[in-house]
Homo-oligomer: A and B are copies of this chain.
């Protein structure tokens, strides 16, 4: 593709030779002579001067530092994502229903759907238009799903779950399995029936082998634009606000309420019934035992303010030294508290 064609498709101003043949997009550190790359901020501006790429997508401000052709963008990361799509249209099977799919007679499936081999669609299921449902998906009876659904192999969608438009679910995820609830009854544990459901709003993406449990009563809710990475666990009755993101292996215990635009790092956890405000950011592996006000940036287990956590964790390796210094003070002053000595 010629550079001028890319500029035209993206609607971006071009500086340099539009006739350049572009081989494809690349990360700037792996660029070759035919690559188009992007630079999103001053941190990488130095590479503008040394890259061998054919062209770079960059802001007007940084553009003068580039030694190659330039596409001027207000949002280089976004426009680069569009270049990725130009060169690599996503894999999408043609519409059609595999003769090996098992679809209930009363299931309603909108026009334009692809449904793969061995997929099972239960009684009373309704699915909107343009669905792409790969092989080996199981949709239990009564689930309702919107338009433009993309669902990869081995996903389970349990009974009565509701899913909005433009939702993507990656391989092996489980939506609406029973929440984890038991009551002790003498020498027995009795299961609390999990009679609620899951509601997933528009434009949610759910990662591979992630689990979102149905509510005990009511609904577990993922609001518009929520993104879950792989192997995430969302407990029963949680509610996650719009556009919040959870990195891999994060987990929420039951009845947690998460605000909008939060970012949870990998392997983070949050206690049941905690309320987390909007735009909270959580460092990887942190554990949140209680409510957190909006706009907080937190880390550690139990989680604390990020600055306190950085200072505290920097001192952790020095605990033995601090203990020695206390002992030296005690020895030299002759002052010893009643605590047992080391």
Contacts and interface: CB of A to CB of B under 8 A. Distances in A.
A229 B336 CA distance: 49
A185 B75 contact: yes
Contacts of A195: 25, 84, 87-88
A17 to B, nearest CB: 24
Contacts of A172: 154, 156, 172, 174, 209, 211
A118 B136 CA distance: 9
Given A309-B317, A320-B312, A253 B269 contact: no
Given A248-B235, A329-B330, A332-B335, A211 B211 contact: no
Contacts of A180: 207, 227, 229-230, 247-248
Interface stretch (A54-62, A64-72, A296-304): A296-304
Contact of A193 (B81, B156, B190, B330): B81
Interface in A117-147: 117-118, 120, 134-136, 138, 140-141
Contacts of A170: 174, 177-178
A190 B79 CA distance: 10
Contacts of A339: 321, 324-325
Interface in A273-296: 284-285, 287
B217 A26 contact: yes
A290 to B, nearest CB: 12
Contact of A267 (B154, B171, B267): B267
A170 to B, nearest CB: 5
Interface in A228-251: 229-231, 233, 235, 243, 245, 247-249, 251
- Interface residues on chain A, size class: 35 or more
A269 B231 CA distance: 13
A205 B190 CA distance: 11
Contacts of A111: none
A220 B179 CA distance: 25
Interface in A206-234: 207-209, 211, 213, 216-218, 225, 227, 229-231, 233
A100 B102 contact: yes
Q: Which of A138, A190, A207, A304 has the most CB of B within 10 A?
A: A138
A74 to B, nearest CB: 10
Interface in A188-213: 188-193, 195, 203, 205, 207-209, 211, 213
A102 B118 contact: yes
Contacts of A233: 229-231, 248-249, 266
29 contacts: A25-B217, A30-B218, A77-B183, A81-B183, A87-B195, A138-B153, A138-B154, A138-B171, A154-B174, A158-B171, A172-B172, A172-B174, A174-B209, A182-B227, A211-B231, A248-B253, A249-B269, A285-B287, A304-B316, A304-B317, A305-B317, A319-B319, A322-B326, A325-B326, A325-B339, A328-B336, A329-B329, A329-B333, A329-B337
Ranked 10 nearest A-B pairs via Cβ: A328-B337, A88-B195, A138-B153, A156-B171, A177-B208, A174-B208, A102-B117, A233-B248, A211-B230, A180-B229
